[in-house]
Chains A and B, each alone.
Chain A
Amino acid sequence: GAVVSQHPSWVICKSGTSVKIECRSLDFQATTMFWYRQFPKQSLMLMATSNEGSKATYEQGVEKDKFLINHASLTLSTLTVTSAHPEDSSFYICSARTSPEQFFGPGTRLTVL
């Protein structure tokens, strides 16, 4: 299957700081990437759809100014959590689409103190 990487795999930060998470498709080009968040014992929640060269489309209830998404190339999308707070602590997972399947990165565990 297609390989998607994420970096970092985990991060601990202080409240009020910003954190950037990178998602890369390693062996294919992805015009569309997705960002999900998952809280313990819950299913994946789609945050936004990221299209190369255009603005991300955010799901209802997701603050676009807090979760900044950039999809600068066909193999790289980034999610920046701005002014992170403890309630932003979660497991963030990206996926990249090779139509119609999505392949997921290994996830980034964010802990905000």
Chain B
Amino acid sequence: QKEVEQNSGPLSVPEGAIASLNCTYSDRGSQSFFWYRQYSGKSPELIMSIYSNGDKEDGRFTAQLNKASQYVSLLIRDSQPSDSATYLCAVTSGTYKYIFGTGTRLKVLA
């Protein structure tokens, strides 16, 4: 059974701080990794995709992938109250279907 695990949270950080969200996956053969943001009552929105080891930066967001340790993380710099949402980690393993984690709820405190 291929699994993706996330801490459900809530993860609370003060405004302006760095939020660090983590995700581990069980299938060593996983190829593609995605972070989505989902506001309450809305559908997921793609934030970052990462395919190779290392860091990938886009604005205030940095995705980090470590295939040897089987984890992928998302850092949000200068966190804002508008970043408060559930962050979903998704992984593909051999097919185009996503395997989702259960999501981490982030609360940015003003």
Closest residue on chain B to residue A99 by CB atoms: B96
Chain A residue contacts of B44, Cβ below 8 A: 44, 93, 104
Is A85 an interface residue, CB under 8 A from the partner?
no
Chain B residue contacts of A97, Cβ below 8 A: 96
Q: Which B residues are closer than 8 A to A by beta carbons?
A: 31-32, 34, 36, 42-46, 49, 88, 90, 92, 96-98, 100-103
One digit per residue, 1 when the CB lies within 8 angstroms of any chain B CB and 0 when it does not, for chain A 1-13 equals: 1000000000000
Q: Pick 5 A–B contacts, CB within 8 A, sort by A.
A: A44-B44, A102-B34, A102-B46, A104-B36, A104-B44
One digit per residue, 1 when the CB lies within 8 angstroms of any chain B CB and 0 when it does not, for chain A 54-69 equals: 0000000000000000
Q: Which A residues are closer than 8 A to B by beta carbons?
A: 1, 32, 34, 42-44, 46, 49, 93, 97, 99-107
* A44→B100 contact, CB < 8 A: yes
Chain B residue contacts of A32, Cβ below 8 A: 96
* B34→A101 contact, CB < 8 A: yes
* B42→A43 contact, CB < 8 A: no
A104 CB to nearest chain B CB (Å): 4
Chain A residue contacts of B42, Cβ below 8 A: 106-107
Sorted nearest first, the 4 A-B pairs with minimum C-beta distance are: A107-B43, A104-B43, A100-B32, A43-B102
* A43→B32 contact, CB < 8 A: no
* A101→B46 contact, CB < 8 A: yes
* A100→B102 contact, CB < 8 A: no
A sample of 6 more A-B contacts (CB under 8 A), given A43-B88, A43-B101, A104-B46, is: A32-B96, A42-B102, A101-B49, A102-B34, A105-B43, A107-B43
Q: A34-B97, A43-B100, A43-B102 are in contact. Are A1 and B46 (CB under 8 A)?
A: yes
